[in-house]
Amino acid sequence: MADRSDRCCPDCGADLDLLGDEEVGALVDCPNCGAVFEVVATVPFTLAPFVDEEK
Ligand SMILES: [Zn+2]
């Protein structure tokens, strides 16, 4: 059973309102604080901060 509470912004706690079919490697941005996260696992659904520092 999916728990939507897992899909909130790790930074501000806002509901990210994901579709639930995001794949590993997908990027998700928070509509509230603008932080960007990468989906690192789907079971359980896990987000990690996405740091774009390889420019
Ligand atoms: Zn946020």
Q: Which phi and psi angles does 5 have, rounded to 5°? A: -70, -15
12 domain residue, yes or no: yes
What's the domain count of the chain?
A: 1
Asked, for residue 29, whether it belongs to a domain, the answer is yes
For position 1, what pLDDT does the model report? 47
Q: What confidence score (pLDDT) does residue 5 get?
A: 54
Nearest to 18 by CA among 44, 52, 27, 50: 27
For the segment 3-49, what is each residue's pLDDT rounded down to a tens digit? 545 688 989 999 998 887 899 999 999 999 999 999 999 988 899 99
Q: Regarding predicted confidence, which is higher, 55 or 12?
A: 12
Task: Report how far ligand 1's centroid is from the alpha carbon of 54 (Å).
Answer: 23
Query: Measured in angstroms, how far is the CA atom of residue 43 from the centroid of ligand 1?
Result: 21
Separation of 6 CA from ligand 1 center, angstroms?
13
CA–centroid distance, 10 to ligand 1, in Å, is: 7
Q: Within a domain: residue 55?
A: no
Q: Judging by DSSP bridges, how do beta strands 36-42 and 27-29 pair with one another?
A: antiparallel
Range of the domain at 12: 4-18+25-49
